[in-house]
Amino acid sequence: MEKRLLWMVVVLTLVWGTNWTLFPLAVRETSVWTFRAVSLVGSGALLLFVARLKGLSLHVPRRQRRGLVLAALTYLVVWNVGSTFAAVLIPSGQAAVLGFTMPLWATLISWLFLGEKPSARLWCSVLLASCGVALLAYAARDAYASAPLGFALGLLAGIGWAGGTLILKRAGLTVPPIVSTGWQLLIAAVPISIAALLLGTREPFLPSPTTLLVVAYITIVPMALGNITWFSLVDRLPAAVSGLSTVMVPMVAMATGAAFRGEPLGPLELASMACCGGALLLVVLKPARGAGAA
């Protein structure tokens, strides 16, 4: 992996990894639907505004719009709702690991439905990441048993992310990543905003400064900056590889959850980190001469 892409992975890992512990703070005074509607609209509008300041056209060719809409609905809607509810119902670091099973689902979908045979190197990386998730699932079995919906929503978030990424890879987008990302965020905001009006906080009120600050940070940094970094990686790497490149995100989430929220971080969690770290190294380190690339 070239140095620029590696730095993008580092930025994404830190931005998304430290984000999970903030979810419960963001929804203390607002519903999940309202929080996500505000963050999606705000981040999407911000990216398109910056794109216009840079002199970029916001036009998306007609033939590419269907793929853009399907990718946004499959990834961003499912991910934003599933991951947030999961982080509220179960420890945030564990919810992150479930969501970041995305590379496993992307590899399986590509193999079973798209006829793309993964390399041995990629299979080994996915296997290591799966072992890490399995270790964490065993360590958190009591939490999952008491909140099975959180477990299910965490996995659903990962499946939606994988499906949306594969759709986007085949959409043949020619617009700059900042433009496509901005439009996807706004497209995803439509159904979530409707749900917020029907299910969320409908009475007008002013949240506390802490809640406003947390929501503003999530909107600008993890949502806007994080998503444009992610879609730039997707544009340059195969779906499964780009997913595996972010496998350390839930490890950062577990560490910050343990540091700031007292979430568990014992031998099984550390072993899970080691497995996921090994999976990442298989992706980012160049194979020896004569070996097949991932």
Q: What is the pLDDT of residue 41?
A: 97
Q: How confident is the model at residue 256 (pLDDT cuts 50, 70, 90)?
A: confident
| Cβ pair 198, 92 in contact under 8 A | no
C-alpha to C-alpha distances, 87 to 84, 97, 201, nearest whole angstrom: 5, 10, 19
Mean pLDDT of the chain: 84
Q: How confident is the model at residue 131 (pLDDT cuts 50, 70, 90)?
A: confident
pLDDT digits (tens, 9 = 90+) for 29-57: 888 899 999 999 999 999 999 999 999 99
Average pLDDT of span 86-103? 80
Range of weakest confidence among 32-36, 57-61, 98-102: 98-102
Average pLDDT of span 189-200? 90
Average pLDDT of span 8-37? 87
Q: How confident is the model at residue 288 (pLDDT cuts 50, 70, 90)?
A: very low
Q: What is the pLDDT of residue 284?
A: 60
Average pLDDT of span 99-122? 80
DSSP 226-250: HHHHHHHHHHHS-HHHHHHTTTTHH
For 55, residues 6+ apart whose C-beta sits below 8 A from its C-beta are none
pTM beyond cutoff 0.85? no
Say yes or no to pLDDT of 292 above 50: no
- Provide the angle, in degrees to the nearest 10, between the axes of the packed helices 102-114 and 120-139: 130
DSSP the chain: --HHHHHHHHHHHHHHHTTGGGHHHHTSSS-HHHHHHHHHHHHHHHHHHHHHHTT------HHHHHHHHHHIIIIIIHHHHHHHHHHHHS-HHHHHHHHTTHHHHHHHHHHHHH--PPPHHHHHHHHHHHHHHHHHHHHTHHHHHH-HHHHHHHHHHHHHHHHHHHHHHTS---S-HHHHHHHHHHHHHHHHHHHHHHHS--S-----HHHHHHHHHHIIIIIIIHHHHHHHHHHHS-HHHHHHTTTTHHHHHHHHHHHHH-----HHHHHHHHHHHHHHHHHHSPPPTTSPP-
Average pLDDT of span 189-204? 84
